[in-house]
Structure 1
């Protein structure tokens, strides 16, 4: 994986203010603190922020996680629908989404609906072209992607060729590193994992 490798960091959003009535919750106070701490960590890891692209899911919780880093680096966040959270089955009430997600974690990717399969394929296709046409810049060595639990698990499963939905349980603001070489994605390191009490939204 040498040469023209592009580094991709999948970052799970901070703790969200989860509610069965809110389809797009923002961060809790703890989540905002996590986003601030993450910004400081990223500034230490990437001393040349001009070579780092910032991409985020359009969901509020992901954007709010990205904002402290974008502000510190004075960089624009590119909102990308391809890294939004997995869509619910058509007609599923919002209040039932949590139960559906929990059940999905114990299933396989081969059993998802066509709409969810399109979502997954679009996510992976987007990541595979990073570093060339996306974020504008062949000078970008790294792209940080602020996204979601299921996005990260979907990508890890695809790279591993593993049909299980739940590959691991990334903690809030954890960073899963990938390497992109000639259009192929490689898993470098899984992000920090939370073993229990991990709310998925």
Structure 2
């Protein structure tokens, strides 16, 4: 699971793309991924439908000439009803200090959908005829934390603070997700959207 690059935060745009720095981060990530997975052999690319995740994945998809498949289940957490886009940042910051047991029904369904999607990746149809041993999923801070909390069976929302373009490695064996390696953490505070 790869967190998107730095997004152009906005109280009025519910789908901001990357900043100039975010695009640079995506290019550096593509270079790193190409070293780890030369020419993308055996790798499948999937992304949240949000612009910031797709834009983070596009440099490596272009380099490898591979399709970037949309995975709707790894979209960012939905805000509670009545929370405006301008209030979302404050809600997220408060939410990070709460528990997964505080989710609304919509958010609980979102979280369950993420886990189900990850467990079913190997069986999902693909546009690519190559066999994939590895799937890179470009997604969001809260998605990654939801998965790590589920694996750890930990009720805390904030499991760790994945940095922009950090790579959290998971393994799936017999329908069981395990943590191989947490991604690089960001130690300087930044707003989560």
**Same fold, TM exceeding 0.5?**
yes
Instruction: With the length of structure 1 as denominator, give the TM-score of the two structures.
Output: 0.92
Aligned to 1:18: 9
Aligned runs of 1:8-47 on 2, under 5 Å? 10-47=1-38
Does structure 1 retain, via aligned residues, the 8 Å contact 2:89–2:191? no
Cα deviation for residue 197 of structure 1 reads 2.1
Cα deviation for residue 129 of structure 1 reads 1.1
Q: Measure, in 1, the Cα distance between the counterparts of 2:62 and 2:136.
A: 14
Name the Cα RMSD after superposition. 1.2
Higher RCO, 1 vs 2 (CA within 8 Å, ≥6 residues apart) = 1
- 1:148 is the counterpart of 2:140: yes
Aligned to 1:93: 84
Cα deviation for residue 138 of structure 1 reads 8.2
Gaps of 5+ in 1: 1-9
Aligned to 2:177: 185
- 1:59 is the counterpart of 2:25: no
Q: Measure, in 2, the Cα distance between the counterparts of 1:98 and 1:134.
A: 36
Instruction: With the length of structure 2 as denominator, give the TM-score of the two structures.
Output: 0.96
Q: Measure, in 2, the Cα distance between the counterparts of 1:56 and 1:148.
A: 10
Gaps of 5+ in 2: none
